[in-house]
Amino acid sequence: MNKNDFSKRNGGKMKFISWNIDSINAAVEHKSVRGVMTWEVLQQIALEKPDVLAIQETKLKATGLTKKQETALDELFPNYYRYLRMSTGRSGYSGTMMLTRHEPISVTMPEIGAPGEMDIEGRIITLEFENNYVSTVYTPNSGSGLARLEDRQAWDDAYRAYVQTLDATKPVIFSGDFNVAHQEIDLKNPKSNHKKAGFTNEEREHFSQLLDAGFTDIFRYLHPDQAGVYTWWAQISKTSKINNSGWRIDYYLTSNRLADQVSELSVIDTGARQDHAPIKLEMTDGFRL
């Protein structure tokens, strides 16, 4: 298949989707009510036919996909190149995956010098194409009682340095669960959540430093004052989705010089399913990887 054929079928625009799925196995097995909803969202994504799909928190074992999981993904996403990174520390934890219609020049699973076991938790995959890098990240959570906040800040510093090295060579499109709501507009209840994991001063400041290093939060670039748009609703609260008591913690970021080549960033509707929703980035006509 010519690498441009697929984007032509998408009306000439390239499309990217990113989602924290919270377990590939739960989706493929879809035995629970929530598993069924997760599977339906994955089917919905397949119908979108993205040029590149980034998935976080796959929770795969260190051995990778089972035969059943492999078959299910092959059927949903035929003719895609697929790249996996599993946690080699705690099996069945964290993990990322990227699927792409376009064969990359290279694929890297970098270690960035993060503290503890963060570098072996399968958190980053980067695809290199002719004109750009496309990368995904599952940022470590600061944890209960902020037990991991210090390590999280070290991660943020190391990760920022990593994407800067990419950006020095080619523009970067990167997405994922960044585990931080940047501004008060990015969550429903900023006052009651201040200083909790995902909305500490330290995490927000580090996200600001990432943007200041030459990158653009695409949703906020396109919709600077739009409130009430979130990507995550806590499962622990039965009414979080009903009341739209959410957080925007999943992002597409690009090198600043790519921002004006983006046409839209939207959140895919997941109905009653709580937890993360996928986000979709659409580029302008003429953009090519």
Catalytic residues, by residue number, are: 138, 177, 276
Q: Which two tokens stand for residue 79?
A: 């003719």
Residues 6 or more apart from 93 whose CB is under 8 A from it? 59, 87, 121
285 annotated to a ligand binding site? no
Q: In what order do the strands lie in the sheet with 275-276?
A: 246-247, 232-233, 275-276
CA 256/CA 218 separation, integer angstroms: 9
Is residue 57 a known part of a binding site? yes
141 is in an annotated binding site: no
If we measure between CA atoms, which residue out of 128, 155, 140, 147 comes closest to residue 93? 140
* Residue 137: strand pairing partners: 124, 176
Distance, CA of 109 to CA of 264 (rounded, Å): 28
- What the block records as the tokens of 74 is 């092959």
> Does the annotation place 48 within a ligand binding site?
no
Q: How would you list the strands of the sheet with 81-85, edge to edge? A: 81-85, 96-100, 52-56, 15-20, 279-283, 262-267
SS3 51: coil
Helix (H, G, I), strand (E, B) or coil at 217: strand
User: Which whole-number Å values give the CA distances from 204 to 140, 152, 178, 193, in the listed order?
Assistant: 14, 12, 11, 13
Q: Residue 20 annotated as binding?
A: yes
Any known ligand binding at 156? no
Residue 287 structure tokens:
């953009």
Structure tokens at 36: 């069924």
Binding site listing for Mg(2+): 20, 57, 177, 179, 275-276
